[in-house]
């Protein structure tokens, strides 16, 4: 099907080279709009009329009786929208003091909404956080959040670390395997297997229509493993055989990562989406901590999976082979281990575990670049634990998750990822082999 | 299909502001990677340092714009030292991870809301380069455009380009003179075999640091000119993808050649503009609905193709022709060090 689509698409492109006499296309209109509402003291929302909104360099609009305003803009791009604070009704102010302008990115032919929050009375200053201060309750909450992020990160990190261990390759495209898993799960969640094979559509779930997220996640893991296998089989195995240097391979993974990421946004679009099941859950209280049931279950599953990975690496034949190849490839090969097969297994394994990580990260929202956003955290986890050591990646991921979340006790949450990156740099400087790595001469 | 527009776009972009900015950044990266073998994955951090040096001087300190250029250079030197002193002793892939982490840290830090008064946070800084445009020799009321042959540029862009391409020529000249000097030969020796260079009594570490500073400052000029041309600096334009775009440009031109970053940048921007404008026009023709149906291609996502193409180009170039168009295999010593 896909192939047919591709060929016919190509044919159309080629044909259109010939008689290109079609009229110049008219640019569709796009606009920036919004609805101004005032949150009153009792929490109700009332429309704000007569407020002047200016779009920089384009024009202005006045909100009507429903608080609705719109400004049409000539072309897609980034615009700055200002609200004229002088024209706000008496006794009404911006919820965040000073936030009177917004940057919005307008896509061609689409309306874009710019939201300004208004409150009765005085607004609060930017950066004031209601949950300031170091309390036991906050520490407990952040520890759980940190454990959660650490467990999910570990799913992504373990594959990266094993791939580095067995092949020496730093795979910048690993985050795209995370995204791939999340996106494929979304796809199966909404379209089931029928999405791939059209005639299955009338069959009941999980074949026709959407399948439950649990099935979908399972299919997503298979898709992740398949992607890992294909990348190794058709790209990296060839590169290894041709003797392309590891640094060149690393740059190739960077190209691959950009290619995959923008292919995702090309097909999936730029807006974030949610899985069909388990979306709007309210948090439950467990002791001092609030957590949604889905996150609790996901944390449970990831703990089990990570323990299973540990067991697999320690006790099974293939796990021992993986560690042997990581330790010393030549020695492993001369002891009769089929290194190519081990590498292939590592890619399949890494791909499917990363896909499961993508499902867990995607419980909040699925987006084309949500894997890339955590790439540097994955790197931080892997280098902290020691590049190439599987157990190290697990430990490093949990440490990074805890450090990132607990650091918000002292610093602005906006800077929390920076803390992770800086701690990685510090580790590289003072203990480049990581927490669990073997000391060797590096550099 | 408006071929006039397609070719005007192609030629204008090939020599336009973007090509000039990325040529500068690529000259810097070429000194790092092409001549010295440093795996710098954070070139965009130097662009940000230069850009914010200028913008913050005007916005935060209210100082003279021209002083800002100097501050931008100082920022780049300081960044190179902070990055280089601890990390140049590390292995190549560790240096890569450290530099990409540093460039992301810079982006996160300048967009932090606590820095609103200094860097403008996520909204950035606008209209700081009026003193630069006051000198515009091509000034036209309303910033109207000039047209000649296939070229079309706005008056302000033309002024930025005149200054910018002079800076590019100057940097190429410096680069050329330095590389054929004894200093340049030491750099190449370090790239080829660091231990050999050390055993001949050369302080490899110090040479690498000097190369990092020099390439960083040149990249900083690129960042400055980029934000001056737009009169606006935004933290999120300095994301890691830009670094790899610069890598692609260096590899297109050919690693370790004086002219290659400039040629690579002109080729990249010309070709990408040709392809994207062509696609946009094609969508507007009768083929549009079919492209949408079979390839999911519409005016909404045509711009994503630019990145798909350059990601693929980076992969294929690195695989099949790592020395680029004009480079030679011997200059391409990609090795684990």
Distances in Å between the Cα of A7 and the Cα atoms of A3, A13, A19, A403, B92 are: 6, 10, 20, 50, 43
Q: Looking at CA atoms only, how far is residue B284 from chain A in angstroms?
A: 5
Which residue is it, tokens 């307008």?
A: A106
Indicate if the pLDDT at residue A19 is higher than 80.
Answer: no
CB pair distance less than 8 Å for A424 and B97: yes
CB pair distance less than 8 Å for B2 and A24: yes
More confident residue, A20 or A412: A412
Give the pLDDT confidence score for residue B204 in this predicted structure. 86
Please list, residue by residue across A125-148, b when 16 or more beta carbons sit within 10 angstroms of its beta carbon and e when fewer do.
eeeeeeeeeeeeebeebbebbbbb
Give the pLDDT confidence score for residue A182 in this predicted structure. 92
Domain that holds residue B208: 3-331
Indicate if the pLDDT at residue A358 is higher than 90.
Answer: yes
Q: Is residue B336 part of a domain?
A: no
CB pair distance less than 8 Å for A5 and B294: yes
Which residue is it, tokens 């604070």?
A: A85
- Kindly state whether B101 is in contact with chain A, defined as any CB-CB distance less than 8 angstroms: yes
Indicate if the pLDDT at residue A14 is higher than 50.
Answer: no
- For residue A107, the chain B residues in CB contact (below 8 A) are 300
Q: How many domains does chain B have?
A: 1
CB pair distance less than 8 Å for B307 and A424: no
Interhelix angle A339-361/A174-191, nearest 10 degrees: 60
- Kindly state whether A256 is in contact with chain B, defined as any CB-CB distance less than 8 angstroms: yes
Rg for chain B, CA atoms, rounded:
21
CB-neighbour burial class of residue A175 (10 A; exposed 0-12, middle 13-18, buried 19+) = buried
Q: Tell me the two tokens of residue A15.
A: 């044909």
The shortest CB-CB distance from B314 to any of A22, A28, A254 is to: A254
Indicate if the pLDDT at residue B17 is higher than 70.
Answer: yes
CB pair distance less than 8 Å for A126 and B314: no
CB pair distance less than 8 Å for A251 and B318: yes
- For residue B308, the chain A residues in CB contact (below 8 A) are 258-259, 262-263, 266
Q: Tell me the two tokens of residue A296.
A: 């609790």
Optimal mutation site among B39, B94, B120, B302, interface A, most CBs of chain A within 10 A: B94
The shortest CB-CB distance from A255 to any of B2, B282, B315 is to: B315
Range name among A83-87, B192-196, B277-281 with the lowest pLDDT average: A83-87
Q: Is residue B337 part of a domain?
A: no
The percent of residues above 70 in pLDDT, for chain A, comes to 81
A194 pLDDT band, cuts 50/70/90, is low
CB pair distance less than 8 Å for B244 and A16: no
- For residue B109, the chain A residues in CB contact (below 8 A) are 415, 418
A439 pLDDT band, cuts 50/70/90, is low
Pick the CATH number of A30-124 from 3.40.50.880, 3.90.25.10, 2.60.200.20, 2.60.40.10: 2.60.40.10
Range name among A67-81, B24-38, B277-291 with the lowest pLDDT average: A67-81
Q: Which residues contact B114 (CB under 8 A, 6 or more apart)?
A: A127, A412, A414, A415, B121
In the structure, how many helices (H) and strands (E) does chain A have?
13, 15
Range name among A184-193, B20-29, B36-45, B183-192 with the lowest pLDDT average: A184-193
Answer for the pair A87, A116: CB distance below 8 angstroms, yes or no. no
Indicate if the pLDDT at residue B333 is higher than 80.
Answer: no
Answer for the pair B263, B271: CB distance below 8 angstroms, yes or no. no
Average of per-residue pLDDT across B231-237: 88
Give the pLDDT confidence score for residue A26 in this predicted structure. 29
Indicate if the pLDDT at residue A262 is higher than 80.
Answer: yes
Residues B260-288 have pLDDT tens digits of 899 999 999 998 888 888 888 888 887 77
Which chain A residue has its CA at the smallest distance from B89's CA?
Answer: A443
Interface of B with A in 10-39 (CB under 8 A): 39
Whose CA is closest to A164, among A305, A346, A356, A348? Answer: A346
Answer for the pair A143, A395: CB distance below 8 angstroms, yes or no. no
More confident residue, A93 or A128: A93
CB pair distance less than 8 Å for B94 and A443: yes
CB-neighbour burial class of residue A332 (10 A; exposed 0-12, middle 13-18, buried 19+) = buried
Distance CA B143, CA B229 (A): 12
Indicate if the pLDDT at residue B159 is higher than 80.
Answer: yes
Residue B252 belongs to domain with CATH number:
1.10.3470
Average of per-residue pLDDT across A6-11: 46
Q: Looking at CA atoms only, how far is residue A300 from chain B in angstroms?
A: 31
Average of per-residue pLDDT across B37-46: 90
- For residue A22, the chain B residues in CB contact (below 8 A) are 1, 284-287
Q: Tell me the two tokens of residue A408.
A: 């918000």
Q: pTM for the complete prediction?
A: 0.78
Q: Is residue B166 part of a domain?
A: yes
Which chain A residue has its CA at the smallest distance from B39's CA?
Answer: A247
Distance CA B287, CA B282 (A): 7
Optimal mutation site among B297, B300, B313, interface A, most CBs of chain A within 10 A: B300
CB pair distance less than 8 Å for A247 and B335: yes
Cα dihedral across residues A379, A385, A388, A391: positive or negative = negative
Give the pLDDT confidence score for residue A15 in this predicted structure. 35
Q: Tell me the two tokens of residue A112.
A: 């874009």
Q: Looking at CA atoms only, how far is residue B169 from chain A in angstroms?
A: 29
Give the pLDDT confidence score for residue A443 in this predicted structure. 42
Give the pLDDT confidence score for residue A303 in this predicted structure. 92
SS3 label, residue A115: coil
Distance CA A381, CA A247 (A): 21
- Kindly state whether B92 is in contact with chain A, defined as any CB-CB distance less than 8 angstroms: yes
**Range of B92-101, B148-157, B312-321 with top mean pLDDT:** B312-321
- Kindly state whether A83 is in contact with chain B, defined as any CB-CB distance less than 8 angstroms: no
- Kindly state whether B111 is in contact with chain A, defined as any CB-CB distance less than 8 angstroms: yes
- Kindly state whether A418 is in contact with chain B, defined as any CB-CB distance less than 8 angstroms: yes
Give the pLDDT confidence score for residue B209 in this predicted structure. 92
Q: Which residues contact B5 (CB under 8 A, 6 or more apart)?
A: B277, B281
Q: Looking at CA atoms only, how far is residue A443 from chain B in angstroms?
A: 4
Distance CA A91, CA B297 (A): 49
Give the pLDDT confidence score for residue A139 in this predicted structure. 86
Indicate if the pLDDT at residue B169 is higher than 60.
Answer: yes
Indicate if the pLDDT at residue B337 is higher than 60.
Answer: no
Answer for the pair B322, B250: CB distance below 8 angstroms, yes or no. no
Give the residue extent of every domain in chain A: 30-124, 136-430
Q: Looking at CA atoms only, how far is residue A166 from chain B in angstroms?
A: 16
Indicate if the pLDDT at residue A13 is higher than 60.
Answer: no
- Number of cross-chain residue pairs from A and B with Cβ atoms under 8 Å apart: 189
The residues facing A284 across adjacent strands are: A291
Whose CA is closest to A135, among A333, A408, A409, A380? Answer: A409
First to last CA, chain A: 51
Which chain B residue has its CA at the smallest distance from A101's CA?
Answer: B123
Cis check: omega of the bond before A206, within 30 degrees of 0: yes
Interface of A with B in 6-25 (CB under 8 A): 6, 8-9, 12-13, 15-16, 20, 22, 24-25
- For residue B294, the chain A residues in CB contact (below 8 A) are 5-6, 8-9, 12
- Kindly state whether B291 is in contact with chain A, defined as any CB-CB distance less than 8 angstroms: yes
Residues B89-131 have pLDDT tens digits of 777 777 888 888 899 999 988 888 888 888 887 788 888 888 8
Answer for the pair A285, A294: CB distance below 8 angstroms, yes or no. no
Q: Determine the CATH number of domain A136-430.
A: 1.10.3470
Q: Is residue B168 part of a domain?
A: yes
Q: Tell me the two tokens of residue A304.
A: 């089990």
CB pair distance less than 8 Å for A22 and B87: no
SS3 label, residue A56: coil
Q: Looking at CA atoms only, how far is residue A30 from chain B in angstroms?
A: 12
Distance CA A289, CA A139 (A): 9
- Kindly state whether A266 is in contact with chain B, defined as any CB-CB distance less than 8 angstroms: yes
B170 pLDDT band, cuts 50/70/90, is very high
Q: Which residues contact B57 (CB under 8 A, 6 or more apart)?
A: B63, B64, B65, B67, B68, B71, B72
- For residue A263, the chain B residues in CB contact (below 8 A) are 308
- For residue A82, the chain B residues in CB contact (below 8 A) are none
- Kindly state whether B313 is in contact with chain A, defined as any CB-CB distance less than 8 angstroms: yes
A207 pLDDT band, cuts 50/70/90, is low
More confident residue, B257 or A352: A352
Average predicted confidence (pLDDT) for chain A:
79
Q: Is residue B261 part of a domain?
A: yes
Answer for the pair B153, B19: CB distance below 8 angstroms, yes or no. no
Count of Cβ atoms closer than 10 Å to residue B236 Cβ: 12
DSSP symbol at A366: B
ipTM over 0.90: no
Indicate if the pLDDT at residue A84 is higher than 80.
Answer: no
Answer for the pair B211, B31: CB distance below 8 angstroms, yes or no. yes
């Amino acid at each position: 099907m896909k192939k047919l689509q591709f060929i016919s698409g190509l044919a159309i492109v080629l044909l259109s080279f010939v008689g290109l006499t079609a009229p110049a296309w008219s640019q569709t209109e796009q606009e920036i709009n919004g609805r101004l509402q005032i949150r009153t003291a009792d929490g109700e929302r009332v429309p704000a009329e007569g407020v002047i909104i200016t779009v920089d360099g384009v024009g202005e609009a006045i909100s009507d009786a429903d608080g609705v305003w719109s400004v049409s803009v000539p072309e897609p791009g980034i615009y700055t929208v200002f609200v004229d604070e002088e024209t706000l009704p008496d006794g009404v102010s911006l919820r965040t003091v000073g936030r009177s302008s917004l940057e919005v990115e307008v896509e061609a032919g689409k309306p874009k909404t710019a939201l300004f929050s208004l409150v009765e009375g005085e607004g609060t200053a930017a950066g004031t956080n209601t949950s300031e201060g170091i309390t036991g309750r906050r520490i407990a909450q952040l520890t759980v959040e940190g454990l959660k992020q650490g467990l999910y990160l570990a799913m992504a990190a373990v594959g990266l670390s094993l791939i580095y261990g067995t092949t020496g390759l730093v795979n910048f495209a690993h985050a795209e395997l995370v995204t791939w898993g999340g996106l494929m799960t979304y796809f199966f969640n909404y379209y089931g297997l029928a999405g791939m094979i059209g005639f299955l559509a009338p069959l009941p779930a999980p074949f026709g229509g959407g399948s439950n997220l649990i099935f979908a996640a399972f299919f997503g893991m298979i898709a992740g493993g398949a992607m890992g296998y294909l990348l190794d089989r058709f790209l990296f195995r060839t590169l290894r055989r041709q003797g392309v240097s590891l640094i060149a391979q690393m740059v190739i993974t960077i190209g691959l990562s950009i290619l995959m990421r923008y292919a995702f946004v090309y097909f999936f679009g730029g807006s974030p989406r949610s899985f069909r099941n388990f979306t709007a859950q309210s948090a439950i209280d467990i002791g001092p901590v609030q957590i949604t049931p889905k996150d609790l279950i996901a944390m449970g599953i990831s703990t089990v999976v990570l323990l299973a990975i540990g067991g697999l690496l320690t006790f099974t034949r293939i796990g021992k082979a993986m560690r042997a190849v990581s330790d010393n490839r030549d020695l492993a090969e001369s002891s009769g281990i089929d290194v190519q097969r081990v590498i292939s297994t590592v890619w399949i394994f890494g791909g499917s575990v990363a896909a499961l990580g993508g499902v867990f990260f995607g419980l909040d929202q699925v987006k084309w670049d949500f894997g890339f956003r955590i790439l540097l955290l994955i790197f931080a986890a892997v280098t902290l634990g020691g590049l190439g050591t599987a157990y190290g990646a697990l430990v490093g991921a949990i440490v990074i998750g805890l450090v990132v979340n607990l650091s918000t006790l002292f610093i602005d949450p906006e800077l929390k990822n920076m803390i992770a990156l800086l701690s990685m740099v510090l580790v590289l400087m003072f203990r480049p082999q990581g927490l669990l790595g073997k000391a060797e001469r590096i550099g | 299909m408006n071929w006039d527009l397609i070719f005007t776009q192609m030629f204008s972009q090939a020599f336009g502001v973007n090509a000039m900015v990325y040529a500068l950044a690529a000259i810097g990266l070429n000194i790092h990677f092409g001549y010295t073998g440093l795996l710098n994955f954070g070139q965009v951090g130097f662009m940000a340092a230069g850009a914010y040096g200028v913008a913050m001087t005007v916005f935060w300190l209210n100082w003279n714009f021209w002083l800002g250029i100097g501050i931008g250079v100082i920022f780049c030197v300081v960044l190179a030292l902070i990055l280089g002193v601890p990390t140049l002793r590390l292995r190549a892939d560790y240096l890569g991870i450290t530099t990409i982490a540093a460039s992301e840290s810079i982006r996160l830090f300048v967009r932090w809301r606590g820095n609103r008064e200094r860097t403008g946070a996520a909204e950035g800084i606008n209209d700081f380069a009026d003193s630069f445009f006051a000198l515009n020799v091509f000034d036209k009321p309303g910033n109207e455009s000039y047209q000649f042959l296939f070229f079309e540029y706005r008056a302000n862009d033309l002024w930025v380009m005149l200054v910018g391409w002079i800076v590019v020529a100057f940097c190429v000249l410096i680069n050329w003179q330095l590389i054929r000097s004894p200093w340049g030969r030491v750099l190449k020796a370090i790239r080829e075999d660091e231990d050999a260079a050390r055993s001949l009594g050369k302080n490899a570490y110090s040479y690498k640091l000097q190369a990092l500073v020099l390439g960083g400052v040149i990249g900083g000029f690129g960042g400055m000119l980029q934000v001056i041309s737009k009169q606006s600096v935004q933290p999120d334009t300095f994301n890691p993808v830009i670094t790899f775009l610069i890598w692609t440009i260096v590899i297109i031109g050919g690693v370790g050649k004086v002219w290659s970053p400039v040629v690579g940048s002109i080729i990249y921007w010309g070709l990408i503009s040709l392809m994207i404008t062509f696609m946009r026009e094609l969508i507007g023709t009768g083929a549009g609905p079919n492209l949408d149906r079979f390839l999911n291609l519409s005016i909404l996502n045509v711009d994503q193709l630019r990145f798909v193409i350059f990601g693929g180009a980076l992969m294929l170039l690195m695989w099949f022709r790592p020395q680029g168009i004009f480079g030679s295999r011997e200059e391409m010593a990609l090795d684990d060090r």
